[in-house]
Amino acid sequence: MPVRVRVPGPLRRLTGGDAEVTVDGVTVTEALGDLDKRYPGFHDRLYDPDGKLRQFINIYVNDSDIRFSEGLDTAVGERDEVSIVPAVAGGV
């Protein structure tokens, strides 16, 4: 099932500069897997060596953080938008 993925600025070089791409999947895991298949390099930037989502990467389906639903097993559909949001550190 086609799903839109919003790509943050620092990772857009992997998509040829595209801020949004379409991939296939019925879960976040499948969508991110297809993203890496179509645009190699995402896996290493999103996952740690143990295969877990990196600590400073947040994934949203529409406006909901997947950590508060089914995690990487969160279902996605053709009207959903997956956003990859790197955490921003810093202070005032």
Helix (H) or strand (E) holding 70: none
The pLDDT value recorded for residue 87 is 83
- Enumerate helices (H) and strands (E) in the chain, giving the number of each: 2, 5
The pLDDT value recorded for residue 92 is 57
Each residue's pLDDT, cut to its tens digit, for the chain (92 residues) gives 899 999 999 999 999 999 999 999 999 999 999 999 999 999 999 999 999 999 999 999 999 999 999 999 999 998 999 999 998 765 55
Per-residue buried b or exposed e for 62-85, using 16+ beta carbons within 10 Å of the residue's own CB: eeeebeeeeebebebeeebebbbe
